[in-house]
Amino acid sequence: MRVLVAEDDAELAARLCAVLAEAGFSAEHSADGRDAEFRGATEAFDAAVLDLGLPGLDGIGVLHRWREQGLRLPVLVLTARGRFHDKLAGFNAGADDYLTKPFQLEEVVLRVRALIRRSAGHAHPVLRCGGLVLDLNAGRFALDGAPLSLTAQEARILHYFMHHPGRIIRRGELGEHVYEGGYDPDSNVIDVLLGRIRRKIGPGLLHTHRGQGFRLEAEV
Q: What is the pLDDT of residue 136?
A: 80
Q: What is the pLDDT of residue 172?
A: 84
Q: What is the pLDDT of residue 116?
A: 87
Domain boundaries, the chain: 2-119, 126-216
Q: Match domain 126-216 to its CATH number in 3.30.1200.10, 3.40.50.300, 1.10.940.10, 1.10.10.10.
A: 1.10.10.10
Q: Residue 114: how many CB atoms within 10 A of its CB? A: 19
Architecture of domain 2-119: 3-Layer(aba) Sandwich (3.40)
Residue 179 region by backbone torsions, left for phi larger than 0, else alpha for psi between -120 and 50, else beta: beta
For residues 3 and 94, give the distance between their C-alpha atoms in angstroms, rounded to a whole number: 17
Highest mean pLDDT among 3-7, 75-79, 123-127: 3-7
Q: What is the pLDDT of residue 186?
A: 65
Q: What is the pLDDT of residue 56?
A: 93
